[in-house]
Amino acid sequence: MQQYFIDSKAETDQIIDLDKEVLHHLIKVLRKDSSYTFRIADRDGKIFHAHLIDEKRCRIDAFLDENNELDCEITCILSLIKSDKFELCIQKMTELGVSRIVPFNARRSVLKIRDGKKLQRLRKIALEAAEQCHRNRIPEITKPCDLKDLKQYMSTSNYICYESETKISDIGKSDSITYIIGPEGGFDEDEYGKIVSMGFESVSLGKRILRAETAALYMTSLIVWKCQ
């Protein structure tokens, strides 16, 4: 069943105006009419069934007592890598349940986000992925940050994935976890040292050297599995 997010609070029997893009997708792309029931997720993360009543509005039919979010708040600080791979990570990490993704300008990053259009595209990818997998909330995609900004995104538990590390950390349950994934070519040694000094625990993802996008999805899956 198709799901859409709205910026307002919803209540049963309420009639609301739908966004033009949502209406276009329902009517022009899916060719649905008032007989079709779809899902609405409101700004509070509540899920409802709804149906069209005309070409602009829908009626909220019923509240669904459904929570598809993780108990742990997960933040991924993802170094900026090649555009298509970065977008893939956004999509898949959204599906896996990450709460926030922070693009990081690592010293060896090859991608730079220089305008709002790219950030807008990344947020749209997260929105569409959250709709597809029936999440209650859209993950936050922050503005790109630099090394000096990392502390503001720290959680109860904090990790940096490093290819030269030999210790595989026993990641346990936590109310919040932040982890950092490096760019193509890995972290600069001085950069790595400064991140560790902030309080990020250095961990290994195994004996093999993983591509940045593989490391991101591997670490995300590991954390989600531990936090279920």
CB 48 within 8 A of CB 60: yes
Distance (Å, rounded) from C-alpha 124 to C-alpha 96?
17
- 5-28 confidence digits (pLDDT tens): 999 999 999 999 888 888 888 888
Q: According to the model, what pLDDT value does residue 98 have?
A: 97
Among 43-47, 77-81, 104-108, 170-174, which stretch is predicted with the lowest mean pLDDT? 170-174
Q: What is the overall mean pLDDT for the chain?
A: 91
Between 160 and 228, the higher pLDDT residue: 160
Distance (Å, rounded) from C-alpha 213 to C-alpha 3?
27
Domain 3-64 adopts which CATH fold? Ribosomal Protein L25; Chain P (2.40.240)
- 177-210 confidence digits (pLDDT tens): 999 999 998 899 999 999 999 999 998 887 888 8
Tell me, rounded to whole angstroms, the distance of Cα 208 from its chain centroid. 26
Sketch the domain layout of the chain as residue ranges.
3-64, 73-227
Question: pLDDT > 70: what percent of the chain?
Answer: 98
For domain 73-227, give its CATH number from 3.40.190.10, 3.40.1280.10, 3.90.660.10, 3.30.360.10.
3.40.1280.10
Is the pLDDT at 2 greater than 80? The verdict is yes
Which pLDDT band, with edges at 50, 70 and 90, does 166 fall under? low
CB-count exposure of residue 153 (10 Å: 0-12, 13-18, 19+): middle
